[in-house]
Amino acid sequence: MATAVTKRWKTKHGYLYIQEDECKGCGFCIEFCPKKVLEESAQFNAKGYYPPRVVDADACVNCTFCELICPDFAIWSEKEQEEVSRNNG
């Protein structure tokens, strides 16, 4: 069994994190990203769902909409200037 990993993409002003195995394939982030940053992965995850992957990292403005709407805590963004302490705890 594969160890759980987090995939991280570099965006213009930060990062986008996706924890693929948490995803339940609802499609909300892909559909409603205002910048069309995401698309469905080619591979399915451990649960059998197709998680999102970044298709256009440059378009991402770290608006955090995907992060907010994701029902499974599987995707989040980080702005460079933000304090690292945001990921504590």
Partner 1 sequence: MPHRTKVKAVPVPEILPQQAHPMQKYLRMDRLPHIWCSGCGLGTALSCFTYALDELELGAEDIGVVSGIGCTGRIAGYLNLDSYHTTHGRAIPFATGLAVAKPDKKVVVFSGDGDLFAIGGNHFIHAARRNIDMTVLCVNNFNYGMTGGQYGPTTPIGSRGTTAPYGNYENPFNLPYLAASCGAVYVARWTSLHARRLKEAMVEAIMKPGFTFVEIVSPCPTNYGRRNRLGDGLDELRTYAERSVIRHGANPAEADLIPGNDIIVGRFIDTTRPTFLEAYQEQIVRKNKFDK
Residues that bind partner 1 in the complex, under the rule CB under 8 A: 3-10, 17-19, 22, 24-28, 31-32, 36, 49, 53-57, 59, 65, 67-73, 76, 78, 86-89
Q: How far is the CB of 54 from partner 1 (least distance, A)?
A: 5
> Nearer to partner 1 by C-beta: 13 or 72?
72
Buried b (16+ CB within 10 A) or exposed e, 29-50: bbeebeeebbeebeeebeeebb
- Best CA proximity match to 50, nearest among 58, 62, 38: 38
The minimum distance between CB 35 and partner 1, in angstroms, equals 8
